[in-house]
Amino acid sequence: MNSLAVKTEGLTKVYKDFWKRKSVSALTNLNLEIKHGEIFGLLGPNGSGKTTTVKLLLGFLHPTRGKSWLLDEPSGHVKTKNKIGFLPEESYLYKFLTAEEILDFYGKLFNLSRKERQKRIDELIHIVGLHPYRKRLLSKYSKGMLRRIGLAQAIINDPELIILDEPTSGLDPLGRREIKELIRTLNQQGKTILLSSHLLSDVQSICNRIAILNNGVLQVTGKVNELLSRSDVTEFLVKNLSDSDLESVKEFIRGKNGEVISMHPHLSTLEELFVNIIQHRK
């Protein structure tokens, strides 16, 4: 059998209320296979079943039908969790601890030695950019800071598989870029990453493969560049050409029976502008 990082078979979840009457079909018959070393994006609008999928994978919820495996062990297997990192949708952390203390606590739950913990904590606090606030209580953290510490705790055990539920939510553009870079770095170290998001640009820029959910039903799954590429359209981005040069390029294309769909001065994105300004201030 081929080893897979994540596998689901007909995974279905129907939420029932206490009296088992009203029910919501949050996820219907999901079949997914994520290979080792992929960055997999789970996309979908609000309420499409992304978080439900993640909770089923981790064994917090019991499926109504179907099965799922993480690293070839059934969901909920305790030992496998040594090799898994998880960032929940919101940062549900113990607010009465400081950043250092909470990382130390989670490190202990992974049975890391004191030395290892010390080293990991220093590293991680730097990676997520919280070193000025490492002794501050989490109850005094801002939302984005909580998100960052959440991310740090998700990778404290140097996991093989990292499951991130909307990792960039609540982060400023700089933070988003940093997190995206972090995810890429982790992936280069050979880690498999499953992330859910509805921020399409984030997903597009980092994921190898995606699945799109709507109303709990899988709509499409595949490689990002395959899903997006159109073989009959080509995009140019050129610099330092005069207007007359551009006209002659247009002429040349028409001469080859091509069609120019659009041609306009390039706008840099607001994100680029924002990042430029903030980074220059530092």
Partner 1 sequence: MILTLAIHTVREAIRKKIPHILISLGAIVLAISPFISTTHEPDALPKIMLTVFFQAVALLCVTGIILFSAVSLPHDIENKTIFSILSKPVSQFKFVAGRTLGFALLAAFILVALGLVNIISVFFASAHLPPEHRGIFKARKEFGAHHFHIQGKIHHEKEGIRWVMGGREGIAIWHFSHLHEKAKNIPPFEVELRLKLDSSRNVADTIPLSIGIEGIQSKENKTELVSAKADETVTLGIPPEIIRKNNDIKITVFPTLTADYIGTAHNTIKVFSIQKGFVFNYAKALAITFLKFLLIIAIAVMGSAYLSAFVSILSAFAVFLCGHLLDFIKDFSLLLHHSGAHEHGLPGMIKKPSGFMIYMDYFFKKPLEWISFILPDFKKFDILSYLLKGIDIPIETIGFSAGYTVLYVAICTLISYILLKKREFF
Ligand X SMILES: Nc1ncnc2c1ncn2[C@@H]1O[C@H](COP(=O)(O)OP(=O)(O)OP(=O)(O)O)[C@@H](O)[C@H]1O
Rounded Cα gap, residues 9 and 44, in angstroms: 20
Contact map string, positions 88 to 107, toward Mg ion, x by CB under 5 A: -x------------------
Rounded Cα gap, residues 110 and 257, in angstroms: 64
Site for ligand X in 7-26 (CB under 6 A): 15, 24, 26
96: partner contacted, choices partner 1, Mg ion, ligand X, none (Cβ within 5-8 A by kind): partner 1
Among 155, 108, 90, smallest CA distance to 127 is for 155
Question: Please, which residue, 107 or 150, has the CB nearer to ligand X?
Answer: 150
Rounded Cα gap, residues 175 and 145, in angstroms: 10
Mark the segment that binds partner 1 (CB under 8 A) among 109-117, 167-175, 190-198, 257-265. Answer: 109-117
Question: Please, which residue, 89 or 101, has the CB nearer to Mg ion?
Answer: 89
Question: Please, which residue, 18 or 236, has the CB nearer to partner 1?
Answer: 18
Site for ligand X in 43-72 (CB under 6 A): 44, 46-52
Sort 113 into a burial class: Cβ within 10 Å, 0-12 / 13-18 / 19+: exposed
Position among 4, 5, 32, 84 found at the interface with partner 1 (CB under 8 A): 84
Question: Please, which residue, 30 or 130, has the CB nearer to Mg ion?
Answer: 30
Neighbouring residues of 41: CB distance < 8 A, sequence distance ≥ 6: 195, 196, 197, 203, 206, 207, 209, 210, 211, 224
Rounded Cα gap, residues 229 and 179, in angstroms: 26
Do 15 and 184 contact (CB within 8 A), yes or no? no
Amino acid type, 219: Q
Tell whether residue 140 is a contact of partner 1 (CB under 8 A): no
Binding positions for ligand X, rule: CB under 6 A: 15, 24, 26, 44, 46-52, 89, 198
Binding positions for Mg ion, rule: CB under 5 A: 50-51, 89
Binding positions for partner 1, rule: CB under 8 A: 15, 55, 58-62, 78-82, 84, 86, 88, 90, 92-94, 96-97, 105-106, 108-111, 153, 157
